[in-house]
Amino acid sequence: MIPDRSNVIADRNAVITGSGAGVGRALAIQMARAGAHVWVNDLNRDRAESVCAEIEAEGLLASPVIADVCDGDAVGAMVRETGPVDILVNNAGIPESGVRLQHFAESEPEDWEPLIRLNLFAVLGVTRAYLPGMIENGWGRILTIVSDSGRKGERHQAVYGAAKAAAMGFSRGLAHDVGRQGITVNCIALGAMNHGVLADAIEADPGLERKLSRPYPAGRLGRPEDVAPLAVLLCSDGGAFITGQVYPVDGGYFPAL
Ligand SMILES: NC(=O)c1ccc[n+]([C@@H]2O[C@H](COP(=O)([O-])OP(=O)(O)OC[C@H]3O[C@@H](n4cnc5c(N)ncnc54)[C@H](O)[C@@H]3O)[C@@H](O)[C@H]2O)c1
């Protein structure tokens, strides 16, 4: 008999960091549609509450949980508020100060710190905080959103790419630590997204997306909604035998080898 490993996350609790906007918002909406109760984490209360309202308007379950994931005390309070969760998506990765495009030779340690704090230390901190509950339940899914900047490397993004590459290395190692306890650990790597500041620039210059998407076999840049189908699979029962991997969702820009 084939066990039921369907691609659903019904009745699972999921926390998605930085899900008040962008990719995280799309993940929160799609995970709620797949049946999860979603905790929408953000440091911005208005954004988190507005995403929860969108989800609740569809008759689905979501609650805001406000915390700066770089702040250990705030993460502790977040875990006390949500209780143990089945699914953790480490999505927050663009600091409030943005990802400044600059030559490394012109950068200073104060430029590096927010990128490394959010994309590495916060991933470690939030994962460490939720892991004991997953171990106790014997089931867990940890997914971290990374970037092709950390796989291929991109001009003017060396430090951001380094922090993302570190998060991938962490995920691969952690998969070995917790695989026998029913917990999978994976990453999804994104290319450039038609979203946020880039979407504003594209709106102002309609030729820009065509130019930027030349190296993309899919012929366009990513959109937040492109990420959720694979994320839901990786976080479902159906993802039980998929761990320690980094999957690109990047329109074919930089293939996984
Ligand atoms: N946008 C892109 O082109 C792109 C490309 C590759 C990878 N990514 C990755 O995708 C993920 C999502 O990016 P996005 O573009 O959707 O981001 P975004 O900037 O649109 O939204 C991120 C949300 O995270 C919140 N946030 C920021 N710092 C936080 C913190 N310390 N604690 C809690 N919440 C915080 C913000 O308030 C915001 O609502 C990130 O990991 C990013 O590195 C994005």
Domain coordinates of the chain in residue numbers? 13-193+228-243
Section 32-61 average pLDDT: 97
Q: What is the mean pLDDT of residues 194-221?
A: 94
Report whether residue 221 contacts ligand 1, using a CB cutoff of 6 Å.
no
Tokens 């492109």 identify what position? 226
Mean pLDDT (whole number) for 51-68: 98
* d(C-alpha 194, C-alpha 207), whole Å: 13
8 — pLDDT class (breaks 50, 70, 90): confident
pLDDT at 52 over 80: yes
Distance 173 CA to ligand 1 centre (A): 24
Would the CB of 44 count as within 6 Å of ligand 1? Answer: yes
- The radius of gyration of the chain's CA atoms, rounded to the nearest angstrom, is 18
Distance 104 CA to ligand 1 centre (A): 22
Q: Are 178 and 185 in contact (CB under 8 A)?
A: yes
Q: What is the pLDDT of residue 2?
A: 80
Mean pLDDT in the chain?
Answer: 96
For residue 200, name the pLDDT band (cuts at 50, 70, 90).
Answer: very high
pLDDT tens-digit series, residues 106-146: 999 999 999 999 999 999 999 999 999 999 999 999 999 99
pTM above 0.85, yes or no: yes
pLDDT band for 73, please (50, 70, 90 cuts): very high
Fold category of 13-193+228-243 in CATH: Rossmann fold (3.40.50)
Looking at residue 1, its pLDDT comes to: 83
Over residues 177-187, the mean pLDDT reads: 98
Res. 82 pLDDT band, cuts 50 70 90 = very high
CB crowding 17-54: b at 16 or more within 10 Å, else e: bbbbbbbbbbbbbbbbebbbbbbbbbbeeebbbbbbeb
- C-alpha of residue 7 to centroid of ligand 1, in Å: 26
pLDDT for position 257: 76
Task: Say what percent of the chain tops pLDDT 90.
Answer: 93
Tokens 């508020």 locate to: 81
Q: Which of 15, 23, 117, 197 to mutate to test the pocket of ligand 1 (most atoms within 8 A of CB)?
A: 23
